[in-house]
Amino acid sequence: MQENLKSQISGLKSQIKACLFDLDGVLVDTAVYHYQAWKRLANTMGFDFTEAQNEQLKGVSRVESLNKILAWGGVTKTDAEKEELATLKNSWYVDMITKMTPSEVLPGTVEFLTAIHETGYKLALGSASKNSATILERTQLAHFFDEIVDGNMVTKSKPDPEVFLKGAALLGFKPEECVVFEDAVAGVEAAKRGGMKAIGIGEKSVLTEADKVVSGLDKLTVKDLEEL
């Protein structure tokens, strides 16, 4: 019986071979910087931007985020004006994240990435952020990742699975051999639409489609991946 159980666990372990991580809210929390930059932009146009609204932008591209904010403020802009506004917001955001330090990495992140890396899992980043490389460098997390797929490499935003499918392809694995770590509903949906397992980082009542939900990477071990 015990040998049979070991065999089952081994079989499960071989199923998941690659881990794909969202960035914001999973490895680091840059939501506060996005919020400050978007709020500043909204204020320059004469209206306010709330933290509740900022939550709705999780996993959403910069252009789509701007469109939502303009709609909330009842403001209409041309495509050229939108491009200028998005660039302005990003310049403020980049200025803030270039001052990030490893102390801003979320609890348990380094320990968990170290454990799965040493166990032999391949790792990729799958983020809508176009500034992923800067953030990973500033927080000293870049060396953990075999591949990085970010907003500069994809044309479709989550819940479209493009970013994760591209990550899986670059790592050389089938979707069913991958697990995605996400804090956003759109991100979990993207993982499931791509045929991958999903571990939600956040609340079970929100991330209802995830295969497993925890409050943070500090609550996960390699065993959790073997049992998916």
pTM: 0.83
pLDDT at res. 8: 43
Is 48 noted as a catalytic residue in this protein?
no
Cα-based distances in Å from 152 to 62, 71, 126, 129 = 11, 25, 11, 8
Say yes or no to pLDDT of 2 above 90: no
Structure tokens, 203: 């609340």
State whether the Cα torsion 125-79-97-37 is positive or negative: negative
Q: Which DSSP helix (H) or strand (E) runs through 67?
A: helix 62-73
Is 22 noted as a catalytic residue in this protein?
yes
pLDDT at res. 220: 98
pLDDT at res. 10: 45
In tens, the pLDDT along 93-130 reads 999 999 999 999 999 999 999 999 999 999 999 998 88
In which residue are the tokens 């015990």 written? 2
pLDDT at res. 61: 81
Active-site option among 22, 183, 211, 218:
22
In tens, the pLDDT along 33-65 reads 999 999 999 999 999 999 999 988 877 888 999
